[in-house]
Structure 1
């Protein structure tokens, strides 16, 4: 079982590593769903921890549809994320028809180098997630999909997540379930979906508040729950 936790600061990242988190998603703009953090923050976090750091590649929170100017920004950002030593990057792009923007995806994958790519919750705006999963699995660099099963809260999408997990079992891609997970609901959610990777943000923060730092007690509790699963 893999626990990925959102970090927005060096302190978040250090606490995540100290309490046994497996991987970090580094972002800024947590209230906006995450945007690309500063190069300084990326560099300091990568230096501060030994666990994998996956960095958000998202130039703005307006939508998941990007024009040529946006893509030029993203190309420069992904190059810098790679040069700063991040283990992976987190991205997602759609066209105006709410389908995966394949040309944009391929453009950015060509710049990713050896970084592991997570396709983020732009996935939740797609009409046919099963077909999209098959498409993304064709790209070796795309290691996983972060999804809430098309719902605003993943706890309301247990059946959808379970179906995606089942499909992914025959594909070289993982389902990373997140959005709305809490320590209290974690055990039941994993048992009902059979997911192998979970993503937590406000659920492991002080008072469940997005702008508070991560809570060591909640991190410890989440890691303990995951230790009961293979």
Structure 2
């Protein structure tokens, strides 16, 4: 079972890596759902952490509809992070109609070259989740889709997650459920959905708040639960 943990400080990253995280999603602005982190933060994590590091590429929190100027900025960020040797990137783009913006996506994938890509929770705002997954299946670089099943909490979407997991698997993509998971519900959720990876933010933090540091004991507990599967 693969555990991905949000990190937006070097301390987060170090604690997560030492206490059971398999992969980090590196962001800034957690209260806004995550934005592109600083170069200095990613450099420091890359130098001191040895696990899979995926960096958020999201220039603003206004929406997931990007202008040509937005995309140009994202391409520059991608080039910088690619040069640091990160494992992959986390990004996504939609059209005003709620479809995957394939024009924007193809520009981002071209800039990423051979880096693995997670399409982030922009998909939860798509008009048709299954159709969005079929569209993403056209791009071999996209290895993961981070989703709450279109709900505010993934715990309200267990049936949806299981259905989408199978659709994604057919497309060669790993579904990565996240948002709203907490320790007390984790074992039941994993049993009900048969997922092989999951994404943790608040559940691994002091007081269960995304604004607090990663808690080593809480993450170790999550690791023990995950290791049962």
TM-score (normalised: structure 1): 0.98
Aligned to 1:224: 224
SS state of the match for residue 55, structure 2? strand
Aligned to 1:44: 44
Aligned residues: 229
Shift of 1:146: 0.1
Shift of 1:126: 0.9
Gaps of 5+ in 2: none
* Contact 2:97–2:127 (CA under 8 A) maintained in structure 1: no
* Distance across 1 between alignment mates of 2:183 and 2:85: 31
Shift of 1:171: 2.3
Q: How does 1:86-165 map to 2 (within 5 A)?
A: 86-165=86-165
Once the two structures are superposed, what CA deviation does each residue of 1:134-186 show, in whole Å capped at 9, x if it has no partner?
11111010001000000011100111101011222322100000000111111
* Distance across 2 between alignment mates of 1:134 and 1:3: 25
* Distance across 2 between alignment mates of 1:209 and 1:170: 35
Q: Does 1:171 align with 2:136?
A: no
Q: How does 1:191-210 map to 2 (within 5 A)?
A: 191-210=191-210
Shift of 1:114: 2.0
* Distance across 2 between alignment mates of 1:204 and 1:185: 13
SS state of the match for residue 181, structure 1? coil
SS state of the match for residue 110, structure 1? helix
* Distance across 2 between alignment mates of 1:207 and 1:162: 29
* Distance across 1 between alignment mates of 2:217 and 2:40: 28
* Distance across 1 between alignment mates of 2:114 and 2:10: 24
* Distance across 1 between alignment mates of 2:176 and 2:152: 15
Q: Does 1:20 align with 2:39?
A: no
Please give the root-mean-square deviation of Cα atoms over the aligned residues, in Å: 0.8
TM-score (normalised: structure 2): 0.98
* Distance across 1 between alignment mates of 2:149 and 2:131: 13
Once the two structures are superposed, what CA deviation does each residue of 1:46-98 show, in whole Å capped at 9, x if it has no partner?
11101011000000001000001111110100111111111010001011111
